[in-house]
Amino acid sequence: MIDRFLAGSDWDEPPEAMAFESTYGDLLDEVGGLVSRLRQPDNEAAALATRLYVRVPALINVMLNYKICVEHDLPLHPTVYYELKEARRYRIERGIGELEAANRLYRESIGLSRAAYRLEAGWEEEAVAFRKRLPPELLSFIYTGGLDKYTWRASDPERIEKLARSIQSGFAPELVVAAAHGSIIPGLVLAEYLDIPLYFIRFSMFKRSDEEPIVSIADEAWLAPWREGRVLVFDEDVAKGTTLQLFAERMGKLFSTTRSACVIRHAGAFMRPDYSSRVWWD
């Protein structure tokens, strides 16, 4: 997995590679090139791995935005992420076929991203097939990434592996449900260490102004097989704890047994997840 190339990275300050702008089509091409190069010995492997690490989440991010726009009758725009409260202004009617396709593509983007982090053989062919299933306009959608020190600090594979060991010994979950968008990098890595399925629900109180987790009927239908199972509810960091607390409460209505986890937690946070890897003070 990609983590072996990231040993020795600086996990206090986010790398410049985290700040970038790219169309979705170009991202697919770039990720494919990086995956291919990292399968071969390369003296630039650390820099290439960092670049791959911070670009892969955009494959999910864009598709999650697309899925939400389709489900909530919002316009599709290459640069604008609409808030749910704006849906009443548009009311664009879409058919059940488009809804099903958007959800299927979203789930495929999670699998494609996990395969990229595994540097899986055949990734490039899988990406070509995925591209052919995309609505053509999505290839021009633009993702813009910024420097986020807390998401970066929570993306340290050593911290995530430590968290995974603790979770596995104390709970042994069957599914991870993570709050997007911030948790995408560590969520992908955590699910790989735990070797279990992964799903993201959008809930971003501070970057996207979400008042509650955005859970659709399609989300509930996909998650239904784990209703009686053990489910881990995850966010990458806990500053005060509001986001993870509300997320855990909402997910608790869908599953009989849940535990909460984060990679890093502020010492002053009122919410104490069941599992965390590091307590920070600044």
Which tokens sit at 199? 């799903």
Q: What is the pTM of this model?
A: 0.92
SS3 content of the chain, % helix, strand, coil (to 5): 50, 15, 35
pLDDT digits (tens, 9 = 90+) for 166-196: 999 989 999 999 998 889 999 999 999 999 9
CA distances, 19 to each of 87, 117, 142, 152, 235 (Å): 29, 19, 13, 12, 21
- Is 150-280 a domain of CATH 1.20.140.10? no
pLDDT for position 196 = 97
Which of helix, strand or coil describes residue 63?
helix
Confidence band, pLDDT 50/70/90 cuts, at residue 266: confident
Which of helix, strand or coil describes residue 229?
coil
**Opening angle at CA 212, ends 270 and 281, nearest 5:** 25
pLDDT digits (tens, 9 = 90+) for 241-262: 888 999 999 999 999 999 999 9
pLDDT digits (tens, 9 = 90+) for 43-99: 788 999 999 999 999 999 999 999 998 988 887 877 777 666 665 565 667 778 888
Which of 29, 1, 7 lies closest to 119, judged by CA?
Answer: 1
Which tokens sit at 45? 């492997």
Could you state, in order of their start, the residue ranges of all structural domains in the chain?
Answer: 2-147, 150-280
